[in-house]
């Protein structure tokens, strides 16, 4: 074998074995790279939807996963409801996905409030779930909700007004996205679930895979046969053209004390669950799902993170 040919084979081997290859192969993309044993279900956070007018909540992510062999479903749970309420909706949807595919379980990849929603499902129906992955997950609540709760005390006129507005907005939102619950949207319910106190109560009921320390970075990787992973980021203003970034900079400066790392919506300490992958991406809360419309900074495109994680699940036999 010539020296030139040996060099070419060595280079191809290196590309095939390094994570930086990101499923690139010399004769085209590896269409089995994200081909997991169990279907992937993407679970959104507050104002969750699958798509509205052709725009996905997980912007461009599901299609990219499918390009690399994954079987992906984009769930559509209530936009404004509690973790448990949304979790029960998700259980029904998972059962439908399993009936269609013939699979035994699903892999849940969840953003924001989708994380506790998915954790609830894994806790009460572990037979349906192979893994839960928390992406910028709301696992310990947020100081933003605490601030809003302080401005709109429970049982006050402000809360009633917020619920009335949320009911109208939620009905329109659910109708636009084909959501399951147009008639029962509640700002006060989702606010209570998102405060640090509300999430602390939730975590007492469903502690699976949560780090035991308040800012612990690692929890149990496997609980009741369900594997848990997480990743997150601490970017806030990552793209001058993205209006979400300006909103987060303006609003969150009043909620998070100086020195507290966060993604514009959630504190870093609340993003950890199960086995940590990486939590210092320069992504803000919206960047994690590639919004607004893919406007981000120079950090790794989240498409790559989801795709690589699907390969991680595949290699784990999931």
Known catalytic residues are 112, 263, 285
The string over 254-266, giving b where at least 16 C-beta atoms fall within 10 Å of a residue's C-beta and e elsewhere, is: ebbeeeebbbbbb
Q: What is the DSSP letter of 214?
A: T
Q: Report d(CA 206, CA 201) in Å as an integer.
A: 9
Q: What angle do CA 50, 289, 63 make, to 5 degrees?
A: 60
Half-sphere exposure of 38 (CA within 13 A, CB side): 24
CA 316 to chain CA centroid, nearest Å = 20
- The rounded distance, in Å, linking the Cα atoms of 227 and 15 is 28
**Cis preceding-peptide flag for 147 (omega within 30 of 0):** no
Q: What are the structure tokens assigned to 86, written together?
A: 């949304």
Longest alpha-carbon distance in the chain: 82
């Amino acid at each position: 074998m010539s020296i030139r040919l040996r060099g070419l084979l060595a280079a191809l081997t290196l590309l095939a074995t390094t994570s930086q290859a990101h499923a690139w192969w010399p004769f085209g993309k590896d269409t089995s790279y994200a081909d997991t044993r169990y279907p992937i279900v993407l679970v959104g956070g507050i104002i969750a939807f699958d798509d509205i007018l052709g725009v996905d909540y997980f912007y461009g992510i599901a299609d990219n996963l499918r390009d690399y062999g994954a079987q992906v479903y984009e769930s559509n749970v209530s936009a404004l409801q509690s973790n448990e309420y949304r979790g029960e909706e998700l259980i029904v949807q998972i059962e439908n996905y399993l009936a269609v595919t013939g699979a035994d379980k699903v892999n849940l990849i969840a953003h924001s409030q989708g994380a506790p929603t998915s954790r609830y499902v894994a806790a009460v129906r572990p037979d349906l779930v192979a893994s839960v992955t928390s992406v910028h997950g709301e696992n310990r609540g947020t100081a933003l909700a605490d601030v809003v709760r302080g401005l709109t005390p429970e049982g006050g006129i402000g809360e009633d007004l917020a619920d009335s507005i949320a009911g109208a907005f939620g009905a329109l939102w659910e109708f636009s996205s084909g959501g399951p619950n147009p008639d029962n949207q509640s700002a006060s319910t989702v606010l209570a679930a998102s405060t640090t106190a509300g999430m602390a109560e939730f975590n007492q009921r469903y502690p699976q895979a949560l780090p035991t320390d308040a800012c612990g970075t690692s929890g149990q990787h496997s609980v009741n046969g369900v594997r848990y992973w997480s990743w997150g980021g601490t970017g806030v203003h990552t793209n001058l053209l993205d209006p979400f970034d300006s909103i987060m900079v303006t609003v969150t400066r009043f909620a998070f004390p100086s020195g507290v790392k966060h993604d514009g919506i959630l504190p870093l300490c609340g993003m950890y669950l199960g086995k940590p992958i990486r939590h210092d991406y320069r992504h803000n809360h919206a960047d994690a799902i590639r919004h607004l419309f893919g406007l981000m900074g120079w950090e790794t495109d989240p498409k790559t993170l989801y795709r690589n994680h699907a390969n991680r699940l595949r290699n784990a036999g999931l």
